[in-house]
Structure 1
Amino acid sequence: MPSFPPKSSLPTHQLQPLAQHQDQSDDDDDMQTANSRRQPGDKGDRFSSSHPFRSLTPRRIAAIAAVLIVCIFFFGKSSGGGRDGYHSAAVETLTADGVAPNEAAVEVDKLPSGSPQKQHSASSRKCTPPPGKKATTYAIMIDAGSTGSRLHLYTFSHCDPNPDALPKLEDELFVTTKPGLSSYKGKPVDAAESLRSLLQQAVDAVPEHERSCTPIAVKATAGLRLLGSKQSQDILDEVERWLSDEWPFAVVKDGVVVMDGKDEGVYAWITINFLLGFIGPDQPASAGTAAVMDLGGASTQIVFEPIYDPGSSDKLAPGDHIYELDFAGKDHVLYQHSHLGYGLMQARRALHNLVAYSYVWSSAPKGKHVEWDDLSTRDRIPNPCMFKGETKKVTLDPPGRAEKDVTMVGTGAGFEACRRVMEVMINKDAACEEPPCAFAGVYQPRMSEVFSAGKVWALSYFYDRIAPLGLSSPFSISSLRQLTADVCSGRDSKAWARFKGNAEALDELSDRPEYCLDLTFMYSLLSLGYELEEERQVWMGKKVGDVELGWALGAALAMVEGHLSCRAD
């Protein structure tokens, strides 16, 4: 049985949150992290050592910009116009009320027979709990993000007599509160008290005789990371004391923490593979598991379980990408990595910086030399990844240069022009010290060789941008390419006939001038970065059945499958 959290060979490092409930998406956290400035007491640079643009000095960026000039200015000339200062809050969120577009869900009656969700319920006469286990148990996981705290109260039933069987998720109580713990810098007591309304609802929902045996944990994500170690630890210590002294639940050991990035991705991996029945005591290792590719605002993550020929000497190279997981009586060796700086919002900013450098670089030969320090919103910089004539004010912030606000103007140059710029940013040709590498010089075994048959699940922004446009799950990489090309061709093209009658798609496209940029980045990340073949199928969604996809359920499962004890009092 696993300890809590599951064992791992990894050191601590940061990763951004995965997708959460549709009415409280952690896109907020990703945007907070993507746009944050270094805070007092935070020893980390705004661009971490693994950030793709940390090594790009102004001279190096200028050299790259020279290569981009042909791409941008031969294919991306613009006549200007459009809506000056165009900006919509919807560019960086799901919808005004936080609700995701039409959900792609796997129906419960279509789940594989091995899924725990196919078990009998605790209320059924056929429910036969394992020896020594109750038919119903509860677990509480608090997701403490930067914009708010979300409590998940899970109700599990144990109706499979096999002692090693995984439980069935019967119900979930989901409640939220704002602001997040990180808003209480220097006020740890107030931070703990901000959770009172959540805990009261949990007390009301859990039967009195079950409260002392109900485990609870608090996992903080993006917000507390920005406060610095002392400020965040003061808050966590007070929250743990407060939970232990004032509430009846069993606070698990090391359960009130800033969550390690490696755990977020792996917990999401547990969630999906648990719901699909790919992990558990009856599943042979050769059956394979599903991979998770998550796209947040500040980073993108990948987690999968490579399968090597037993007779081969090939295996995962040693390193902090290895995650050893003991779950449900089975050992899993996972590959995981968080590509910091490659989230959707960071990708936008990086591309805007590159396009702006090309603009500055090319100004001198045209006889209209532009100095970086003189840039302002009066500068209308042609951008091949935006719709023709669309404008948007953006903030440029390359390393070594002062921040500047400028106006990007879409050229409508199309998919190929945008893709050429994007491929420079993906950095596929970076030095690879331990081949094979995915991109940015990061080691990753080739999925075509060690994960050729497994299902790939794309989460968060992948779903939020692709699903509203009518591309159903699963989709092929080639169909994503065609969708991207059609979107990038612009509103006046014949290709947009595919959206006729799709009010949701037209509404989405009209509200985001960077839709071409977003889709081109996603396609480039999957096809060039992760080397998924054009015919490879990708699943996406926010739910499996009625259950949300994300790390919280996986973390709760790891908790209840660990060594738990009731409160002595």
Structure 2
Amino acid sequence: MPSFPPSLPLHHSSNAQQQPLASSIDSEDDTEDMNLGNGGSSRGARNSGHPFKSLTPKRILAIAAALIFVVFFFGRSSGGGRDGYLKSGTAASTDKAPNEAAVQVDKLPPNSPQKQQSASSGKCTPPKGQKATTYALMIDAGSTGSRIHVYTFSHCDPDPKALPKLENEGFFMTKPGLSSYAGKPREAAESLRGLMEHAIEGVPEAERSCTPIAVKATAGLRLLGARQSQEILDEVERWLKEDWPFAVVKDGVVVMDGRDEGVYAWITINFLLGLIGPDQPASAGTAAIMDLGGASTQIVFEPIYDPGSRDKLAPGDHVYDLDFAGADHVLYQHSHLGYGLMQARRAVHNLVAFSYVWQSAPKGNSVKWEDLTPKDKIHNPCMFKGETKVVKLDPPGREEVEVTMVGTGAGFEACRRVVEVMIAKDAACEKPPCAFAGVYQPKMGEVFSAGKVWALSYFYDRIAPLGLSSPFSISALRQLTTDVCAGREASSWSRFKNNKEAMEELSDRPEYCLDLTFMYSLLSLGYELDEERQVWMGKKVGNVELGWALGAALAMIEGHLSCRAE
């Protein structure tokens, strides 16, 4: 996720295929390889890793004991029984969710660059020395395939510092990815030929020598190791320079740093919303992004400190100094590897299974972890009552096994108690303040109290189909989660009966309660967004896809570009 955009559905063809742009940011399927969701290992290099990574068997047993204590003893007030789960038929929360504001995210604010005149309008006044129309090429070399974005920009604001308007985006893809050509760098480069032929068609001949191109590789190449991945990148760069007329930017053919991916997505949203650029005062604030993929979740925002305060953003890898459109932005960014949606599911299942094994001895029927099989039916409070699913369990220090999870329909509160153990809000914090899992993060309520928060990828894919509009409040998400977790027989499901998409989604995923509970807990407990904080979500703004590629292209053309020598 995973790159962001996450992995794309690719056709079995050696030639590049043009696809509808909406497909470019579809989140991974539930069965996607955990290591590839939302950046996977490419982002993990700088981060603390999976939430269970540092757990020894003794620590896992301690956590299991703590989990049992929490679920059994605190759960009793909610009707928890000997099994540690609430019984079915749990009453829905009585908290009243506020009416969600009706906001059409496809309508851009007046100060967005997308509101400028088009070069074809006849009213275009480009800056002195600037062409009215320029082009840029960005290749996303993902683990399962490569995609090219062919961007057309208009420059119709006479201010030389003004950002351009995105006029058009051609999007093409090919399969397999560069990482499939280990030891075959020439073949790797040639795999991009179909994409480059589309680039030739999309850029006028007179503009090609001045059109910049870059290749940003994600998780796949990193997994090959430094030597083989560099051989491929070197050959791709040589091939682009010698066989194609475009201007390869300096240091433009690289494995993308995980930090950059989130920041480029941040640029995309703030560009479209008109929150960055030469006319924006620092006091106006920018939008934050929270991107949830399969293997990791990212957060990027620009904290604002009182000039008279001694509080400052602590130094470290989380600091990203961005010089964009003539303005300096000091961003906080972090990628929490292991806290993507699919990995969160896996972690919750592991915890529930350890609870099952722990309880087996006192019951006189001791179960050994390595003896677990799909015949073992383990009660799970985060699944709908009676729903079953065979899942893989793989905690560190234990063999990988499969078991059958059986939903108890215990409801939101019971599920939340398990999820909050996994989020590790109380982990040791060496450099306070911390968000969760001991990771330093300034408190958003103090340094980002007014800015818009945008939730991307799986946040959108799971929440939007259920009818919650954008923006929504955290309390509205809590109410939605409570209603979903109450189960099919509950009266709260009446809210979905006239929503065909919602009913199809809910009928297809027995872990929907788990997914929503994790999202709510991540936002409210992990990032400490208060209950009335508004959150925006979407796949597009102003008919433009949200993703890192546009931000990367904008950062590229904002740099010092030069045409290649003829």
* TM-score of the superposed pair, with normalisation by structure 2: 0.89
CA contact (8 A) 1:77 1:382 kept: no
Structure 1 match to 2:153: 156
CA contact (8 A) 1:32 1:223 kept: no
Q: Please, which of 378, 382, 403 is the counterpart of residue 379 of structure 2? A: 382
Q: Please, which of 357, 366, 371 is the counterpart of residue 368 of structure 2? A: 371
Give a deviation string over 1:467-502, Cα, whole Å, max 9, x none.
000000000000000000110111111110000110
Once residues 124 and 562 of structure 1 are traced to their aligned partners in structure 2, the CA distance between those partners, rounded to angstroms, is 27
Structure 2 match to 1:397: 394
Structure 2 match to 1:525: 522
1:553 aligns with 2:550: yes
State the SS of the aligned residue for 2:134: strand
Structure 1 match to 2:478: 481
Structure 1 match to 2:465: 468
Once residues 16 and 375 of structure 1 are traced to their aligned partners in structure 2, the CA distance between those partners, rounded to angstroms, is 31
Structure 2 match to 1:83: none
Give the deviation of 1:318 after TM superposition: 1.1
Give the deviation of 1:48 after TM superposition: 7.0
State the SS of the aligned residue for 1:367: coil
Deviates more, 1:467-476 or 1:174-183: 174-183
Structure 1 residues 247 and 32 mapped into 2: Cα distance closer, same or farther (>3 Å)? farther
Equivalent position amino acid for 1:75 in 2? Y
Structure 1 residues 397 and 317 mapped into 2: Cα distance closer, same or farther (>3 Å)? same
1:56 aligns with 2:55: yes
Structure 2 match to 1:326: 323
1:247 aligns with 2:244: yes
Once residues 476 and 373 of structure 1 are traced to their aligned partners in structure 2, the CA distance between those partners, rounded to angstroms, is 44
CA contact (8 A) 1:292 1:458 kept: yes
Structure 1 match to 2:503: 506
Once residues 192 and 77 of structure 1 are traced to their aligned partners in structure 2, the CA distance between those partners, rounded to angstroms, is 58
Equivalent position amino acid for 2:34 in 1? A
Q: Please, which of 258, 263, 266 is the counterpart of residue 266 of structure 1? A: 263
Give the deviation of 1:262 after TM superposition: 0.5
Deviates more, 1:281-290 or 1:182-191: 182-191
Structure 1 residues 504 and 453 mapped into 2: Cα distance closer, same or farther (>3 Å)? same
1:74 aligns with 2:74: no
The RMSD of aligned alpha carbons is 2.1
Structure 1 match to 2:4: 18
Equivalent position amino acid for 1:422 in 2? V
Give the deviation of 1:231 after TM superposition: 1.7
Once residues 54 and 428 of structure 1 are traced to their aligned partners in structure 2, the CA distance between those partners, rounded to angstroms, is 16
Give a deviation string over 1:308-331, Cα, whole Å, max 9, x none.
111222210111111000000000
Once residues 36 and 470 of structure 1 are traced to their aligned partners in structure 2, the CA distance between those partners, rounded to angstroms, is 29
Equivalent position amino acid for 2:510 in 1? P
Once residues 425 and 536 of structure 2 are traced to their aligned partners in structure 1, the CA distance between those partners, rounded to angstroms, is 24
Give the deviation of 1:303 after TM superposition: 0.4
Once residues 46 and 347 of structure 1 are traced to their aligned partners in structure 2, the CA distance between those partners, rounded to angstroms, is 19
Equivalent position amino acid for 2:22 in 1? Q
Structure 1 match to 2:15: none
Once residues 401 and 481 of structure 1 are traced to their aligned partners in structure 2, the CA distance between those partners, rounded to angstroms, is 34
Give the deviation of 1:36 after TM superposition: 6.9
Once residues 47 and 217 of structure 1 are traced to their aligned partners in structure 2, the CA distance between those partners, rounded to angstroms, is 23
CA contact (8 A) 1:32 1:146 kept: no
CA contact (8 A) 1:214 1:249 kept: yes
Once residues 133 and 49 of structure 1 are traced to their aligned partners in structure 2, the CA distance between those partners, rounded to angstroms, is 45
Equivalent position amino acid for 2:49 in 1? S
Structure 1 residues 173 and 36 mapped into 2: Cα distance closer, same or farther (>3 Å)? closer
Structure 1 match to 2:536: 539
Give the deviation of 1:30 after TM superposition: 10
Give the deviation of 1:77 after TM superposition: 6.8
Give the deviation of 1:236 after TM superposition: 1.1
State the SS of the aligned residue for 1:353: helix
Long gaps (5+) in structure 1:
1-14, 79-103
Once residues 57 and 377 of structure 2 are traced to their aligned partners in structure 1, the CA distance between those partners, rounded to angstroms, is 21
CA contact (8 A) 1:29 1:223 kept: no
1:141 aligns with 2:138: yes
Structure 1 match to 2:274: 277
Give the deviation of 1:50 after TM superposition: 3.2
State the SS of the aligned residue for 2:229: helix
Long gaps (5+) in structure 2:
7-20, 73-82, 89-102
Deviates more, 1:48-57 or 1:548-557: 48-57
Equivalent position amino acid for 1:34 in 2? M
**Which runs of at least 4 in structure 1 moved beyond 4 Å after TM superposition?**
28-33, 42-49
Q: Please, which of 163, 187, 193 is the counterpart of residue 190 of structure 1? A: 187
Structure 1 residues 180 and 154 mapped into 2: Cα distance closer, same or farther (>3 Å)? same
Once residues 298 and 363 of structure 2 are traced to their aligned partners in structure 1, the CA distance between those partners, rounded to angstroms, is 42
The number of residues matched between the two structures is 524
Equivalent position amino acid for 2:54 in 1? S
Structure 1 match to 2:311: 314
Structure 2 match to 1:343: 340
Structure 1 residues 185 and 555 mapped into 2: Cα distance closer, same or farther (>3 Å)? same
1:121 aligns with 2:156: no
If asked which structure has higher relative contact order (CA below 8 Å, sep 6+), I would say 1
Structure 1 match to 2:559: 562
Structure 1 match to 2:11: none
Once residues 226 and 513 of structure 1 are traced to their aligned partners in structure 2, the CA distance between those partners, rounded to angstroms, is 32
Once residues 511 and 42 of structure 2 are traced to their aligned partners in structure 1, the CA distance between those partners, rounded to angstroms, is 33
Structure 1 residues 18 and 300 mapped into 2: Cα distance closer, same or farther (>3 Å)? same
Percent sequence identity is 77
Give a deviation string over 1:480-537, Cα, whole Å, max 9, x none.
0000011011111111000011010000000001100100000000000000000000
CA contact (8 A) 2:319 2:333 kept: yes
State the SS of the aligned residue for 1:521: helix
Structure 2 match to 1:34: 34
Structure 2 match to 1:8: none
Equivalent position amino acid for 2:23 in 1? D
Once residues 34 and 236 of structure 1 are traced to their aligned partners in structure 2, the CA distance between those partners, rounded to angstroms, is 25
Q: Please, which of 187, 198, 201 is the counterpart of residue 201 of structure 1? A: 198
Once residues 48 and 432 of structure 2 are traced to their aligned partners in structure 1, the CA distance between those partners, rounded to angstroms, is 20
Once residues 504 and 202 of structure 2 are traced to their aligned partners in structure 1, the CA distance between those partners, rounded to angstroms, is 40
Equivalent position amino acid for 1:18 in 2? F
Give the deviation of 1:24 after TM superposition: 3.8
Once residues 324 and 47 of structure 1 are traced to their aligned partners in structure 2, the CA distance between those partners, rounded to angstroms, is 17
Structure 2 match to 1:6: none
Structure 1 match to 2:94: none
Once residues 44 and 540 of structure 2 are traced to their aligned partners in structure 1, the CA distance between those partners, rounded to angstroms, is 36
Equivalent position amino acid for 1:352 in 2? H
Structure 1 residues 356 and 77 mapped into 2: Cα distance closer, same or farther (>3 Å)? farther
CA contact (8 A) 2:36 2:294 kept: no
Once residues 176 and 498 of structure 1 are traced to their aligned partners in structure 2, the CA distance between those partners, rounded to angstroms, is 39
Equivalent position amino acid for 2:57 in 1? P
Give the deviation of 1:25 after TM superposition: 3.7
Structure 2 match to 1:90: none
CA contact (8 A) 2:384 2:409 kept: yes
Once residues 208 and 30 of structure 1 are traced to their aligned partners in structure 2, the CA distance between those partners, rounded to angstroms, is 43
